[in-house]
């Protein structure tokens, strides 16, 4: 039976497909058990392969662009970083009606970062800042510049101007769209005048693994590249607050323009999510509202 990836990229990707692909392309692993991971993502489906490996399959062509990038660059970035990142050990080709390249990586133990797994959020904020600054210190020569492979992270947030203004129009009268637009305009007006550096592109709780309350690993470099690192500061409003936010800001050491663009990246995402969920998903909508409020408050304080 073929894999239908036209309507829903996740449909048809299951343990049976993984077993067929492994048996054909990596027969030395064909006897290992295959099980879905407990916490999966949207861009990729991930399966445990035995105790020490994972199989990661993109759900859409747009996400598949990152596979070769990650497999090439992750081994080069890893030695300079303070915590482990994914280690590719196999590069899979399309097969059995599955149309994308895919990868096999080593399993990394850890729990997803969050209020119940992080024991000291201020210390954790400094650990994340340390990871970001170590990543930025790596030689960017030859690294992938912003484009579709990273959904244009690392470039000017203006790429998403149309989406942002559409969301603002849809939300008019339901949030403080005047202030939100002010945040967005400030992000657009902040020129990128620093040299390009490595960025992760999605420093978020789901991509941060914790052991014993401490940062243990950073995963999912699908949106990584070389450019403006402002997008990596968004966690300041999505995970940190108060003392932990101040600790992150002090430790990560970025200039005012980068923070203005970071607020733009944060409010873009929160606005489009809120516009999509405000009448259908109260929990997600409330989270997005909170981010918008925090970003606006931060913008007003920085004026």
Q: Angle 256-277/177-189 helices, nearest 10 degrees?
A: 140
pLDDT tens profile 250-287: 999 999 999 999 999 999 999 999 999 999 999 999 99
Contact between 180 and 168 (Cβ < 8 Å)? yes
Per the domain annotation, does 45 fall within a domain? yes
Per the domain annotation, does 10 fall within a domain? no
Same domain, 65 and 116: no
Same domain, 228 and 87: no
Per the domain annotation, does 6 fall within a domain? no
User: E strands along the chain, which residues?
Assistant: 34-36, 44-49, 53-58, 88-92, 102-106, 111-112, 197-199, 208-211, 214-218, 225-227
How many CA atoms lie less than 13 Å away from 145 in the CB half-sphere? 5
**pLDDT at residue 33, as a whole number:** 98
pLDDT tens profile 223-234: 999 999 999 999
**pLDDT at residue 11, as a whole number:** 56
Per the domain annotation, does 4 fall within a domain? no
pLDDT tens profile 172-224: 999 999 999 999 999 999 999 999 999 999 999 999 999 999 999 999 999 99
Distance from the Cα of residue 134 to its chain's centroid: 17
- CATH value at residue 72: 3.30.200.20
CB atoms within 10 A of CB 301: 7
> Three-class SS of residue 270?
helix
**pLDDT at residue 4, as a whole number:** 37
Q: Tell me how far apart the alpha carbons of residues 31 and 49 are, in angstroms, rounded to a whole number.
A: 9
Helix (H), strand (E) at residue 132: helix 121-136
- CATH value at residue 192: 3.90.1200.10
Contact between 10 and 59 (Cβ < 8 Å)? yes
Same domain, 175 and 273: yes
Same domain, 145 and 98: no
**255: which 2 tokens?**
């200039």
Q: Tell me how far apart the alpha carbons of residues 8 and 56 are, in angstroms, rounded to a whole number.
A: 17
CB atoms within 10 A of CB 131: 22
pLDDT band at 10 (very low <50, low <70, confident <90, very high): low
> Which of 93, 108, 123 is the C-terminal boundary of a domain?
108
> Which of 87, 108, 129 is the C-terminal boundary of a domain?
108
Same domain, 181 and 263: yes
Same domain, 125 and 155: yes
C-alpha distances in Å from residue 23, one per residue of 16, 92, 195: 11, 11, 45
Q: How many domains does the chain have?
A: 2
Instruction: Kindly report which listed range (37-51, 70-84, 289-303) carries the lowest average pLDDT score.
Output: 37-51
Same domain, 164 and 98: no
Same domain, 182 and 75: no
Per the domain annotation, does 2 fall within a domain? no
**pLDDT at residue 168, as a whole number:** 98
Q: Angle 177-189/161-171 helices, nearest 10 degrees?
A: 170
| Range(s) of the domain holding residue 70 | 15-108
Per the domain annotation, does 3 fall within a domain? no
Q: Pairing state of beta strands 88-92 and 197-199?
A: unpaired
Same domain, 138 and 272: yes
Q: Which pTM was predicted?
A: 0.94
Per the domain annotation, does 148 fall within a domain? yes
Same domain, 62 and 142: no
Contact between 197 and 226 (Cβ < 8 Å)? yes
Helix (H), strand (E) at residue 264: helix 256-277
> Which of 108, 132, 156 is the C-terminal boundary of a domain?
108
Distance from the Cα of residue 72 to its chain's centroid: 18
**15: which 2 tokens?**
């343990």
Same domain, 263 and 120: yes
> Three-class SS of residue 220?
coil
Same domain, 96 and 218: no
Q: Is 26 exposed, middle or buried (0-12, 13-18, 19+ CB in 10 A)?
A: middle
Secondary structure in 3-state letters for 56-124: EEECCHHHHHHHHHHHHHHHHHHHHCCCCCCCEEEEECCECCECCCEEEEECCCCEECCCCCCCCHHHH
pLDDT band at 6 (very low <50, low <70, confident <90, very high): very low
Per the domain annotation, does 8 fall within a domain? no
């Amino acid at each position: 039976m073929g894999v239908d990836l036209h309507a829903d990229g996740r449909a048809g990707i299951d343990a049976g497909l993984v077993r067929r692909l492994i048996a054909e392309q990596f027969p030395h692993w064909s006897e290992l058990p295959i099980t879905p991971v407990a916490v999966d993502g949207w861009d990729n489906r991930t399966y445990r392969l035995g105790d020490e490996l994972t199989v990661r399959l993109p759900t859409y062509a747009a996400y598949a662009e990152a596979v070769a990038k990650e497999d090439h660059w992750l081994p080069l970035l890893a030695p300079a970083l303070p915590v482990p990142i994914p280690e590719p050990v196999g590069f899979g080709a399309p097969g059995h009606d599955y149309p994308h390249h895919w990868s096999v990586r080593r399993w990394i133990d850890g729990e997803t970062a969050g209020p119940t797994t992080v024991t000291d959020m201020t210390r954790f904020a400094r650990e994340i800042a340390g990871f970001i600054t170590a990543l930025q210190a790596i030689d960017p020569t030859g690294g992938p510049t912003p484009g579709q492979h990273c959904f244009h992270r690392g470039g000017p947030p203006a790429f998403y101007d149309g989406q942002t203004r559409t969301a603002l129009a849809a939300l008019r009268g339901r949030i403080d769209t005047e202030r939100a637009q002010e945040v967005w305009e400030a992000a657009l007006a902040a020129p990128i005048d620093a040299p390009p550096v490595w960025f992760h592109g999605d420093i978020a709780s789901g991509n941060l693994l914790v052991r014993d309350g401490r940062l243990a690993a950073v995963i999912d470099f699908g949106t990584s590249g070389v450019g403006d690192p402002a997008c990596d500061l968004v966690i300041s409003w999505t995970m940190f607050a108060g003392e932990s936010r101040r600790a992150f800001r002090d430790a990560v050491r970025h200039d005012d323009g980068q923070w203005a663009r970071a607020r733009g990246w944060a409010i873009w995402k929160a606005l489009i999510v809120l516009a999509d969920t405000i009448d259908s998903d109260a929990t997600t909508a409330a989270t997005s509202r909170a981010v918008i409020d925090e970003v606006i408050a931060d913008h007003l304080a920085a004026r």
